[in-house]
A and B are shown apart, each in its own frame.
Chain A
């Protein structure tokens, strides 16, 4: 069965520190990849996505992610975090199909200290 693993469950950083959140998935076929973010008290929203093409994708608020097919990874990065980036981050994978089912990782809680 397909699965998604996020290596860091709880990350604490100071403002201006660099961020990298790991995400690995298990599936040998074609996938679409996503990072979602849930800010405190808000809806789950899309941060960025990868469908095809350039494996380095840029999302909102200065986030980017790199798809490395050989490593089955889709790590999220940001060069300099802000206090407002405090949120829970979810990696998700879609195995290309008519159903569009997403498989989510366990989530990573990011706490940025001012």
Chain B
């Protein structure tokens, strides 16, 4: 069966520090991968998606970037965190091509101080 992992589960970082959140998927090949940010009362906002290795599409201009160095690995990064980057970050995958349900990881709670 398929499993999606995210780490760390929680993270507290000072403003201006770098960020790296990792997501890996097991039990499937060639998935579509997604990064979302969840804010209270605002639903899930899609940040990035990837349909293949090295293929990243950004949905919202921001202080973050994403990379997909391997088929089942998706990384969310920042060179310098802002206070506004605080939030709950979710990784998800779906079968390719898209259009089907997405499966979500446990999420990372990021607090920027």
The interface size of chain A toward B, counting residues with CB under 8 Å, comes to 26
- Which residues, 12 to 56 on A, are CB-close (under 8 Å) to B? 32, 34, 36, 43-46, 49
Residues of B within 8 A of A96 (CB): 99
Question: Interface code B86-103, partner A: CB below 8 Å = 1, 0 otherwise?
Answer: 000010001011111111
Distance, CA A45 to CA B4, complexed state (A): 12
Stretch at the interface among B17-25, B42-50, B76-84: B42-50
Could you say which of A9, A43, A102, A106 contacts B106, with CB atoms under 8 Å apart? A43
Question: Interface code B9-34, partner A: CB below 8 Å = 1, 0 otherwise?
Answer: 00000000000000000000000101
Could you say which of A92, A99, A106 contacts B32, with CB atoms under 8 Å apart? A99
- Measured CB to CB, the nearest residue on chain B to A105 is B43
Distance, CA A32 to CA B98, complexed state (A): 11
A7 within 8 A of B: no
Looking at chain B, what size class is its interface with the partner chain? 20 to 34
Distance, CA A106 to CA B45, complexed state (A): 9
Question: Interface code A69-111, partner B: CB below 8 Å = 1, 0 otherwise?
Answer: 0000000000000000000001010101111111111110000
Q: Is the CB of B49 within 8 A of A107?
A: no
Least CB distance, B72 to chain A, in whole angstroms: 16
- Chain A binding surface SS class: strand
Q: Is the CB of A100 within 8 A of B43?
A: no
Q: Is the CB of B99 within 8 A of A100?
A: yes
Distance, CA A38 to CA B19, complexed state (A): 26
Could you say which of A43, A94, A97 contacts B104, with CB atoms under 8 Å apart? A43
Could you say which of B41, B96, B97 contacts A106, with CB atoms under 8 Å apart? B41
Q: Is the CB of B51 within 8 A of A107?
A: no
Could you say which of A97, A101, A107 contacts B43, with CB atoms under 8 Å apart? A107
